[in-house]
Chain A
Amino acid sequence: MNEAIVQLRGLSKHYGEGTTRVDALKEVDLDISAGSVVGLLGPSGSGKSTLLNLIGAIVDPSAGLIRLDGELVYDGRWIRKDLRRLRLEKIGFIFQFHNLIPFLNVSENIEIVLELAGYTLADARKRSLELLDYLQVADRAQAKPSQLSGGQAQRVAIARALANRPRIILADEPTAALDFERATIVIDLLHRVADEQHAAVIVVTHDEKIMPRLDEIHVLRDGALMEKEAAG
């Protein structure tokens, strides 16, 4: 068994208080190991995005424990004060809406992450072109995001997520806007990254078509983790 890169214990999250209280996530225990691509399933409102955002340190948990890449990051409070730095070092995000910065060109969208991580300008440019090449969008390096097709934009977003070689990649419905063929390419790509970078990839999806290609599937219902299925 591989080491667990993401370790969650009793992780809970509720929004609001009293009569407006929503328990979005209830005492979730989860281990995700390096090299695996894991699916997160469940009906709308079941807490999938909440779980992803807790792992990504975008949302504050209500209770529980989070360990990322061997480092205890949440234990009733954030251990690290600089969560942006934590995200920059450990996590790559891929969103349903690709969230590229519209005023930067494709290459700059990737370079900015690298610059923030401390790369020199030349190194950042080199790595950016490498990634774009890897994702077969190198020919669009100078284009603005608005000039890309949906598939191209998603690939650039993936390149950005991979830029700083994170050990954890979080993808919220990354294939929702893509057809089967392109969705398959994206999932295969995530497998490759998981293997090559020894990373854990967590994919929230509704997409029945890609399920056979996932290593594990976790199902959420009303904020609680139901069962663990081996997919494929």
Chain B
Amino acid sequence: MNLAIRDIRHHMGRFVLTCLGLALLLGVVVSMVGIYRGLVSDALSLVRAPAPDLWVVEGKTRGPFAEASRIPFDMRDAIARIDGIAEAGAVTYQSLQLEIDGRILRAFVVGYEPGRPGGPANLAEGRPIERSHFEIVADRRTGIPLAAKFKIGADWFTVVGRTAGQVDSAGNPTIYMTLKDAQKIQFQQEGAAARNLAVRGESGTPNQVNAVLAKLKPGVDRLALVQAIERWKHLSAMTQNDQEALLLQSVVEKARKQIGLFTAILLVVSTVIIALIIHTMTLDKVREIATLKLIGAPDRSIVGLILQQALAMGTISFSLGAGLLFLLAGHFPRRVEILPGDIIALASAVALACVLASMLGVRHALKIDPAQALGG
């Protein structure tokens, strides 16, 4: 006879309410991990979209995302000519604040050369950029519809295509445009001071780009190529894998620690709360437990009663919390990614927390004297 279920049924209302409260708490735990996964996906979406084999950036920098990088535009041709390189494209990256119909939008602008590496990955709708000016591909998260026209600086741009889920590591949606357009905007943005420097030819001239992305011919030794490129003192090169690792390290590492810590704290808090609930439930059952001992129930029946209730509470609450997050994930301002592996890991952690939490109640229950069943 399962005592745990019968006791739960006897106090159904209380049990359900407790589970709902706990579900919200555990839902937050799951969302923390989901937010972290979303952060990683977001950060990588920008690096993965162009999917080059090599990133060539300014010498001794780890650009273009982790550090600022500037190289002359004509390096693109120099790189394209290297033996083993199939094609190369120059790109610029910049954050931009746009005003569209009175709404402020922070976007991450990618300038690239259509037909060369650096453009958006598969479009969700519309077409790629075909003209050399004033066409853009915007991510859906910008909220700008296909065929919309809006002004950046002095020029009118038209949305010809849309991507889905491409954002920078801060969660700002990306906007793709031609390299020339992007350089013009960058130049305008930098204002008078930069323009003066440009006149003197020191830096910030419009004909600089942030990186050159290269695709290799099949079977080419990447490391050898990296070394070949780095022989030019003012260039650095890294593989796609290096770039991804770098981005995760520089952009996501702190968030990972922060969220990891927060998740751990929440799990500890959940454990303490479950422990208190189970302890209270045990205190409410002192007489019943004493009676069970009196009529001959072994400790294992009594431990089972408490442990099963703790696990039932944890399982139901976790499922509810995770289910709730699943329903709501799409409404979060940033991507929330729920991975099966994470759910399994968290469920195990919650199960462990329940076992730990029931120790307090179990300890108390084992000390209950059967004589406590007697008297009033």
Q: Contact between A93 and B297 (Cβ–Cβ < 8 Å)?
A: no
Whether A113 contacts B287 in the complex (CB less than 8 A), given A53-B371, A97-B376, A103-B9, comes out as no
Smallest beta-carbon distance A131→chain B, Å: 14
- Cα distance, A108 to B6, chains bound together (Å): 10
Q: Which residues of B contact A101 (CB under 8 A)?
A: 288, 291-292
Q: Contact between B7 and A93 (Cβ–Cβ < 8 Å)?
A: no
Q: Confirm or deny: B296 has a beta carbon within 8 angstroms of a beta carbon on chain A.
A: yes
Which A residues between 75 and 117 are near B, CB-CB below 8 angstroms?
82, 84-85, 87-89, 93, 95, 97, 99, 101-104, 108, 111-113, 115-117
Q: Which residues of A contact B114 (CB under 8 A)?
A: none
Q: Confirm or deny: B1 has a beta carbon within 8 angstroms of a beta carbon on chain A.
A: yes
- Nearest B-chain residue to A164, judged by Cβ: B296
- Candidates B1, B9, B10, B291; contact of A99 at CB < 8 Å: B291
Smallest beta-carbon distance B206→chain A, Å: 79
- Cα distance, A49 to B296, chains bound together (Å): 19
- Cα distance, A84 to B302, chains bound together (Å): 13
Q: Confirm or deny: A160 has a beta carbon within 8 angstroms of a beta carbon on chain B.
A: yes
Whether A95 contacts B373 in the complex (CB less than 8 A), given A103-B9, A111-B1, A115-B1, comes out as yes
Q: Confirm or deny: A22 has a beta carbon within 8 angstroms of a beta carbon on chain B.
A: no
Whether A93 contacts B288 in the complex (CB less than 8 A), given A103-B6, A116-B301, comes out as no
Q: Contact between B293 and A84 (Cβ–Cβ < 8 Å)?
A: yes
The number of chain B residues with a CB under 8 A from chain A is 24
- Candidates A104, A116, A144; contact of B296 at CB < 8 Å: A116
Interface string of B1-44 (1 = CB under 8 A from A): 10100110111000000000000000000000000000000000
Q: Confirm or deny: A58 has a beta carbon within 8 angstroms of a beta carbon on chain B.
A: yes
- Nearest A-chain residue to B4, judged by Cβ: A103
Q: Which residues of A contact B10 (CB under 8 A)?
A: 102-103, 144
Q: Contact between B371 and A160 (Cβ–Cβ < 8 Å)?
A: no
Whether A104 contacts B295 in the complex (CB less than 8 A), given A53-B371, A59-B371, comes out as no
Which B residues between 338 and 376 are near A, CB-CB below 8 angstroms?
370-371, 373-376
Q: Confirm or deny: B298 has a beta carbon within 8 angstroms of a beta carbon on chain A.
A: yes
Q: Confirm or deny: A69 has a beta carbon within 8 angstroms of a beta carbon on chain B.
A: no
Q: Could you count the A-B residue pairs with CB atoms below 8 Å apart for me: how many are there?
A: 69
Q: Contact between A108 and B1 (Cβ–Cβ < 8 Å)?
A: yes
Q: Which residues of B contact A87 (CB under 8 A)?
A: 294-296
Q: Contact between B1 and A113 (Cβ–Cβ < 8 Å)?
A: no
Q: Contact between B373 and A99 (Cβ–Cβ < 8 Å)?
A: yes
Q: Contact between A104 and B6 (Cβ–Cβ < 8 Å)?
A: yes
Q: Contact between B1 and A160 (Cβ–Cβ < 8 Å)?
A: no
Interface string of B280-308 (1 = CB under 8 A from A): 00000001100111111110010000000
- Cα distance, A108 to B295, chains bound together (Å): 13
Whether A103 contacts B374 in the complex (CB less than 8 A), given A85-B296, A108-B1, A116-B301, comes out as no
- Candidates A58, A103, A144; contact of B371 at CB < 8 Å: A58
- Nearest B-chain residue to A103, judged by Cβ: B10
Q: Which residues of B contact A160 (CB under 8 A)?
A: 295
Q: Contact between B295 and A93 (Cβ–Cβ < 8 Å)?
A: yes
Interface residues on A, range: 20 to 34
- Nearest A-chain residue to B6, judged by Cβ: A103
Which B residues between 312 and 331 are near A, CB-CB below 8 angstroms?
none
Q: Which residues of A contact B375 (CB under 8 A)?
A: 49, 97
Residue among A103, A108, A112, A160 with most chain B CB within 10 A = A103
- Nearest A-chain residue to B288, judged by Cβ: A101
- Nearest B-chain residue to A92, judged by Cβ: B295
Q: Which residues of B contact A97 (CB under 8 A)?
A: 375-376
- Cα distance, A113 to B292, chains bound together (Å): 9
Q: Which residues of B contact A58 (CB under 8 A)?
A: 294, 370-371, 374
- Cα distance, A102 to B293, chains bound together (Å): 15
Smallest beta-carbon distance A200→chain B, Å: 19
- Cα distance, A217 to B301, chains bound together (Å): 38
Q: Which residues of A contact B374 (CB under 8 A)?
A: 49, 53, 58, 95, 172
- Cα distance, A183 to B373, chains bound together (Å): 22
- Cα distance, A97 to B297, chains bound together (Å): 19
Q: Contact between B371 and A88 (Cβ–Cβ < 8 Å)?
A: no
- Cα distance, A144 to B294, chains bound together (Å): 20
- Cα distance, A111 to B295, chains bound together (Å): 12
Q: Which residues of A contact B9 (CB under 8 A)?
A: 103
Q: Which residues of B contact A172 (CB under 8 A)?
A: 374
Q: Which residues of A contact B291 (CB under 8 A)?
A: 99, 101
Smallest beta-carbon distance A104→chain B, Å: 6
Smallest beta-carbon distance A148→chain B, Å: 15
Name 7 extra pairs, CB < 8 A, besides A84-B293, A103-B3, A103-B9.
A53-B374, A99-B287, A103-B7, A103-B11, A103-B288, A111-B1, A113-B296
Binding site for A on B (CB under 8 A): 1, 3, 6-7, 9-11, 287-288, 291-298, 301, 370-371, 373-376
The 4 A-B pairs of least Cβ separation, nearest first, read A88-B296, A103-B10, A103-B7, A84-B296
- 27 A-B pairs with CB atoms under 8 Å apart are A49-B374, A53-B374, A58-B371, A82-B298, A84-B297, A84-B298, A93-B294, A95-B373, A95-B374, A99-B294, A99-B373, A101-B291, A102-B10, A103-B3, A103-B11, A111-B1, A112-B1, A112-B3, A112-B295, A112-B297, A113-B295, A113-B296, A115-B1, A116-B301, A144-B10, A160-B295, A172-B374
